[in-house]
Structures are given as C-alpha cells and as structure tokens.
Amino acid sequence: MHRISQHLAIVVVALSLMTGTAKAANLTWVHGPMEEEGKIPSLTIGTAKTTDLSWVHEGMAEEGKITAGFRVGPSFTTQSSGLSTVGPLVNFQGMYGLNRWFRVGMMLEWQNHGVDPGTGSVNTVTLLPVNLEYRPGHFGNLIPYLTTGIGVNINTKNVSDTFAWRLGGGLDYAATNWFPNAPSGMMFNVEAVWKRNHPSGGDASTMGLIFGVRHTF
C-alpha cells in the first residue's frame, strides 16, 4: 500500500506540473488551414509576411507626381530583313501622374542590330514625345500596367527614318518589399514591348524585354 501511495503521489504531482505548463502555453492541436483564403506566403528579405494576390481595381497612378525610369534588356527583330535577331535595348522615360489611372510623358530608346556580316550595324534612336500609361489596379504588391506611345524612329546606316508606335505592358514591384530601407517611391520593373519601325523596303519592327527601376517622387 505504501508503494501504491507513493506512485499515486508521483502521478498527482506530474499531472499538476503538466496542467500548469498547459496553462502557460496552450499546446492544443488544431487541424485546419493556416493561411487565409486567397493568400500565399511570400519570401522577403528581413521579414516574412503574407501577400494577398486578389485583384483590387483601383487607380495606381500617383496624381501630380513625376516618375523617372531606366531599363535595359534584349531586343528581337520580328522579321528577317537583313538584321541580326538579337540586340541591346536601353530605355529612359519621364512620366507625370495625370490622375489616379493615367500617366503621361516622354520616352527615349536606343537599340542596335547587326546587319549582314561585314556591313556594320544599324542604330535606332526612338523618340516618343507622346506616351500614355494606364494603371488599373494591383495583385497584392504586383502593379500591372499598359503603355503606348507614338513618335519617330531615327535610323542610321542610310536607313530612312520612320513613324514609331510603341505598345507594351509591364509590372512594378515596390523595392521596399525586399529592402525596407529603399526609397518609398522606388519600383523594380519589367516590361515587354513591341515597336513599329518600317523603313522603305523593309520591316525593322522589334520586340523587347526590359528590366530596371522606376522612381516616383
């Protein structure tokens, strides 16, 4: 009986300790989804947080503010008109927030494509004094947009200058999502674009994929 009493006392003490621990930290198992509907976990530098990828239809152009951008990437000819398929593309732009939905501004692009071996290359400088950007909303932290502009293609190598029409779409992503100390108006940017360039006797139109940063201030 004495041993039984000792064992019972030990069990009572153990249960008391476990009960006290459970009160301090609730270890109850809950079987169920831990992410809110429509959200997925995202990887960020410094902190981990949840990104809501549901579509929100609201104007993302900041009215009255100026946006400056610099992007680079490859340019691809759409036709085999004696030019090499791939060449470099450099883009500068300046935009102004007209209202919540639209930005207007100017754009300057340079690209280079080689001609047949031994004849050098053709440089094209595109000046777009009229450029429009539509920013209809966002998917969480991703901000899509559409852009179009008209202007002139200035071609070298005795290639005639042509009317330019540029059409594209892209994504902005705030730099502060990865780097908390980055300027609040800085966006990482990627844009896919098609540009018309029809000199006499050929088609030098191109498609490009450019990457860079845009800063709104």
Q: Look up the CATH number of the domain holding residue 74.
A: 2.40.160.20
pLDDT recorded at residue 118: 63
- Residue 7 falls within a domain, yes or no? no
Cβ-proximal residues to 153 (8 Å cutoff; 6+ apart), any chain: 124, 125, 126, 161, 162, 163, 164, 195, 197, 199, 204
Cβ-proximal residues to 185 (8 Å cutoff; 6+ apart), any chain: 65, 215, 216, 217
pTM of the predicted protein model: 0.74
Strand 186-195 to 142-155 pairing: unpaired
Is-contact 69 84, C-beta < 8 A?
A: no
Closest to 205 (Cα-Cα) out of 77, 75, 72, 73: 77
Q: How many domains does the chain have?
A: 1
- Residue 185 falls within a domain, yes or no? yes
pLDDT recorded at residue 158: 85
- Residue 17 falls within a domain, yes or no? no
The one-digit pLDDT tens for each residue of the chain (217 residues) are 544 455 445 544 444 544 444 344 444 455 555 444 444 444 344 443 446 789 999 999 999 999 999 999 999 998 765 566 899 999 999 999 999 999 999 999 999 988 766 667 889 999 999 999 999 999 999 999 999 999 999 999 888 999 999 999 999 999 999 999 999 999 999 999 999 999 887 788 999 999 999 999 9
- Residue 71 falls within a domain, yes or no? yes
pLDDT recorded at residue 12: 47
Structural domain for 148, as ranges:
59-216
- Residue 174 falls within a domain, yes or no? yes
